[in-house]
Amino acid sequence: MYNKNILLVDDSQILLDLLIHALKDSGLDNIDTAVNGKEALEMSIKNNYNLIITDINMPKIDGFKLISKLKELDKYKNIPVLVLSVLSDEESKQKAKSNGAVGWITKPFLPTQLVKAVNLCLSKGPQ
């Protein structure tokens, strides 16, 4: 469907596997994964992603800090970051948005919700 590179960031390998499966079923094949914010930041510096999907509660660097650090990099200033988290409070959502996130999906979620949000982010291009 798209020739886009996506980075998935979550400390749960089981969830990463489910996300990969849902995205590949929708035609998205260029998917990398990271298990914490530090690894994600290192991968983002070395590679170019069109979309980053991150959890918030992770070891080493949490999702809030990851989003902030990504948005400090010129190549990610306009790249969409989507949050996928068990947190659902407005304060957390607002903090993520203030840091540069474009959307929030609360866990648990339906794979169709994820695919719809991803397609929307990718179809809009850089934000």
Question: Tell me: the pLDDT tens digits for 50-84?
Answer: 999 999 999 999 999 999 999 999 999 999 999 99
Answer whether residue 38 is part of any domain.
Answer: yes
Range of the domain at 99: 6-120
Question: Tell me: the pLDDT tens digits for 75-120?
Answer: 999 999 999 999 999 999 999 999 999 999 999 999 999 999 999 9
Question: What's the confidence (pLDDT) of residue 125?
Answer: 64
- 124 pLDDT band, cuts 50/70/90, is confident
Domain count for the chain, please give it.
1
Contact criterion met (CB below 8 Å) for 78 and 121: no
Answer whether residue 1 is part of any domain.
Answer: no
Contact criterion met (CB below 8 Å) for 91 and 63: no
* CB within 8 Å of 65: residues ≥ 6 apart: 37
